[in-house]
Amino acid sequence: MKRTHAISNSRFSILLMLLMLPMVSFGAKKDYKITFVVDGCKDSVVYMGFYLAQNRYYCDTAYNNGKGKFVFEGNKELKPGLYYLTNNVDRYVEFVVYHEKQRFTLHTSQDNWKLGMTVKDSKENEVFFNFHRAEETFYQAMDEAHRTVDSAEFVTVLRPRYIQQLDSLRMSYINKYPDYMISKMMLATKEVTVPKEHPDGTALSDRERFDLFMQHYFDNVPLDDPFIIRTPKEVFYQRVMDYVDRYMKGMPPDMICPLLDSLIDRAEPAPEVYRWLMLNLTEHFLQSRIMVYDEVYVHLVQRYFATGKVEGLAPSVIDEQIERANKWERILVGKVAPELVLFDTTHRAASLHHMPGDYTLLLFWSPTCGHCREIIPAVYEVYKQYTESLKVSAFAILTEPDEHTVGKWKSFLKEHGMTDPRWVNLNGGEANVDWREVYDITTTPQIFLIDNANHKILAKKLNAELLETIFKTMKK
């Protein structure tokens, strides 16, 4: 794939990542002090880190005082979330930073950092480690049963029993400590229960139940609580991505957009979560290869970027997104394809809106683009297969019309026999408009399918396989 324009999607991705990392301030005041004591520890250094959506980052380092004592302290409070300590070799333990003062002591042994932990001055971390010890007891009992009883009995009888007991343990903590972070994290991973009947007792259809599932999918996830973004990816990030990639799969944009708006707007009381959802969902649909999801990207940019709701990004980056969305809005599936007039290899003018037949392939490509050299001949073969039966023509534009490339272009056309009179090869050097700007040609190849009756875009982001699937469907 050849990039032909200055705007870079990867630049946006990098800025998103940098924006979410914590800022560091300097001064004399110590706003957190976490003392970590490990009996028998020989490690010289221990690192402290935190989760952020799907990633983990280090945020502090402490050194052994010679007696297994490590002190982490800083002049700015840690943001709420699940943090971890590690020697970066073979030891790792998590702890909670939430509503309590960030001055406490974690004391353990080198044998098992998690199960040997005692806590001073943090009730929430005391509960956190008590839960993990109780949970570990169940896992050990389940492993022992797996080793000692018949496999069939374990699978059908004992394992479901242990899982039910584990669920009961988790629910007991959720009910006893509803305001603790561990309870909120466990609750966030529980699927919502969808009723099978209306209040009047009549059965809900599968579609009605699915709609309810999508509307209530995040009921157990505290999107308005800032800690949620600093949890392991299974708690927050994966649930968001499953919602978008798994459950929204195949949905039309007019169903997706209200669901995304509801999701993002629920997080508004937690600015960091709100910002992460706005930026990352916009990036997700910017990168989507599903042609109709360009409409979702346009919607998100116009609703959040263009209205000043996105903070922390440079104005130039915001302007780039708005500019791109405005371009994409003009070339969405269903929109009228902007008129193009260019010249063919014999310098005869050709108009996109006056092509013969019922459908026109609009192609932007160059023989200097590696992907083009593979894809365009394959597309041409599909075109030849259906041009008669579906009355298809082609408007194929050379995107690198310099003197050096024009010679390669003509040789490539001859080499691959791309000489069908209804496949019109056009030099992009002269045109009625700046086609790069109008069709946002930042990479090649780009392939559209247009209905000649009304000049509307039927499909975009095409390759040979997808085009053949579309043609087969149209022929039926």
The identity of residue 185, as a single letter, is M
Instruction: Return phi, psi of residue 263, to 5°.
Output: -60, -50
pLDDT at 308 over 90: yes
Q: Flag the least confident range among 131-140, 141-150, 452-461.
A: 141-150
**CA gap 309, 311 in Å, rounded:** 6
pLDDT at 137 over 90: no
**CA gap 283, 265 in Å, rounded:** 17
Using only C-alpha atoms, what is the Rg of the chain? 29
Tell me the sheet residues that pair with 361: 394, 449
DSSP, res 336 = B
pLDDT at 86 over 50: yes
Which positions ≥6 away from 314 have C-beta within 8 Å?
15
Q: Residue range 349-355: average pLDDT?
A: 97
- The percent of residues in the chain predicted with pLDDT above 90, rounded, is 83
Answer yes or no: are the C-beta atoms of 380 and 416 closer than 8 Å.
Answer: yes
Tell me the sheet residues that pair with 36: 70, 106
Instruction: Return phi, psi of residue 213, to 5°.
Output: -60, -45
CA 124 to chain centre: 32
pLDDT digits 0-9 by tens, 413-426: 999 999 899 999 99
Query: What is the model's pLDDT at position 312?
Result: 83
User: Residue ranges per domain, the chain?
Assistant: 31-121, 132-186, 206-330, 341-475
The identity of residue 168, as a single letter, is S
Instruction: Return phi, psi of residue 77, to 5°.
Output: -60, 140
Identify the CATH number of the domain defined by range 31-121.
2.60.40.180
Answer yes or no: are the C-beta atoms of 421 and 388 closer than 8 Å.
Answer: no
pLDDT digits 0-9 by tens, 251-295: 999 999 999 999 999 999 999 999 999 999 999 999 999 999 999
Helix H segments across 177-292? 181-188, 206-216, 237-241, 253-266, 271-286
Query: What is the model's pLDDT at position 165?
Result: 86
pLDDT at 151 over 70: yes
- The percent of residues in the chain predicted with pLDDT above 70, rounded, is 94
Cα 471 to Cα 232, 292, 447: the distances in Å are 44, 18, 14
pLDDT at 15 over 60: no
Identify the CATH number of the domain defined by range 341-475.
3.40.30.10
- Which of 244, 315, 316 has the alpha carbon at shortest distance from 277? 244
Q: Residue range 361-386: average pLDDT?
A: 97
**CA gap 128, 124 in Å, rounded:** 6
pLDDT digits 0-9 by tens, 190-220: 999 999 999 999 999 999 999 999 999 999 9
pLDDT at 123 over 80: yes
Helix, strand, or coil (residue 251): coil
pLDDT at 29 over 80: no
Query: What is the model's pLDDT at position 24?
Result: 41
Cα 226 to Cα 100, 274, 335: the distances in Å are 15, 9, 40
Which positions ≥6 away from 231 have C-beta within 8 Å?
51, 81, 82, 185, 188
Query: What is the model's pLDDT at position 6?
Result: 37
Query: What is the model's pLDDT at position 141?
Result: 82
Band (27; pLDDT cuts 50, 70, 90): very low
Q: What is the mean pLDDT of the chain?
A: 92
**CA gap 405, 415 in Å, rounded:** 15
pLDDT at 96 over 90: yes
pLDDT digits 0-9 by tens, 50-70: 999 999 999 999 999 999 999
Query: What is the model's pLDDT at position 138?
Result: 84
pLDDT digits 0-9 by tens, 181-198: 999 999 999 999 999 999
Q: Residue range 100-111: average pLDDT?
A: 95
Side-chain half-sphere exposure of 218, counting CA atoms within 13 A = 23
Band (476; pLDDT cuts 50, 70, 90): confident
| pTM, rounded to two decimals | 0.86
Answer yes or no: are the C-beta atoms of 127 and 136 closer than 8 Å.
Answer: no
Band (21; pLDDT cuts 50, 70, 90): low
pLDDT at 14 over 60: no
Query: What is the model's pLDDT at position 407?
Result: 93
pLDDT at 7 over 90: no
Q: Residue range 167-171: average pLDDT?
A: 92
More confident residue, 437 or 143: 437
pLDDT at 4 over 60: no
